[in-house]
Amino acid sequence: MSVLASPRSARPIFIALALTSLAWRTTPPHEFGRVVLDNFSSRAGVPPVAFNHWRHRALFTCRLCHVDVGFAMARGDTKISASTNRAGFHCGACHNGRTLHKGRPVFASCSDATRLDEAGSCRRCHNRGDPARLLQDYTALADELPRDRLGGIDWEKAEAEWLVKPLDFLEGVSMKRSPLRMDKEVALSAKATWMADVLFSHRKHAVWNGCEVCHPEIFPRTQSGETHYSMIQISAGEYCGACHDKVAFPLADCERCHLKPVR
């Protein structure tokens, strides 16, 4: 299984990675992973919702939200609305006024109000946002957690050190699952001479994703050697790029995957 194209295709790979690095440098850590939810908001005359993954990532696994609750991995595909939230789907699976967090009920996500200011909770999500407050909130969280080489939160290390304990089961929504059977590490050989091989850990990914986030939609084939992909495809959002460079750590941090120093 190759994760990088041959040396003859080095030029497009370097271009892709250069663009990736540039994108990371222009996206501050507190804005990395932001998703704007606006399927219906603007048409209804209210500000869209800016969802910052880091706010929820310290609390929940990716699998809980993207499998059990059912948020699509592609932007815009979930079609979240006030009515689905009120019915207990999407954000409303937790934001319902009844689910407890640290002993207190989580505020309800949507009301049946016809105007934005009729319900006090509307502007908790539908607001233009305060960049200074967003940075302040992120810094308060990040200062308590380990950082990676690019200055973002090292979520893998934070989980391993029990600094975050992401919830992976939601009563009434989740089904109990058997422990992961495939927990070994898999070596992925890099075809370029300047790039070290990748040692992929199922165990580390399963903590956050389980099996269902990746298989079968992102990686349909699981037999060793059957799936071939390149860094160009990953940079375009395929395979590993479905999460990395969007929500997980950015591709510019090469040695998080290619474990030896890149030449």
In a domain, 194, yes or no: no
Task: Give the pair of three-digit tokens for residue 12.
Answer: 């497009």
The backbone torsions φ and ψ at residue 80, rounded to the nearest 5 degrees and listed phi first, read -70, 140
Return the CATH number at 94: 3.90.10.10
Segments forming the whole domain that contains residue 85: 30-140
Instruction: Compute the half-sphere exposure of residue 43: CA atoms within 13 Å on the CB side of its CA.
Output: 6
Region of 103 on the Ramachandran plot (φ > 0 left; ψ -120 to 50 alpha; else beta): left
Give the separation between CA 213 and CA 57, rounded to whole angstroms.
Answer: 15
Within a domain: 177: no
Domain assignment of residue 112, yes or no: yes
Counted domains in the chain = 1
Question: What is the full per-residue pLDDT of the chain (263 aa) written as tens digits?
Answer: 444 444 444 555 555 555 555 444 568 899 999 999 999 989 888 889 999 999 999 999 999 999 999 999 888 899 999 999 999 999 999 999 999 888 899 999 888 776 767 666 788 898 888 899 999 999 999 999 999 988 899 999 999 999 999 999 998 899 888 777 766 788 888 887 778 889 888 888 988 998 889 988 899 887 777 788 888 899 889 999 999 988 998 888 888 898 876 66
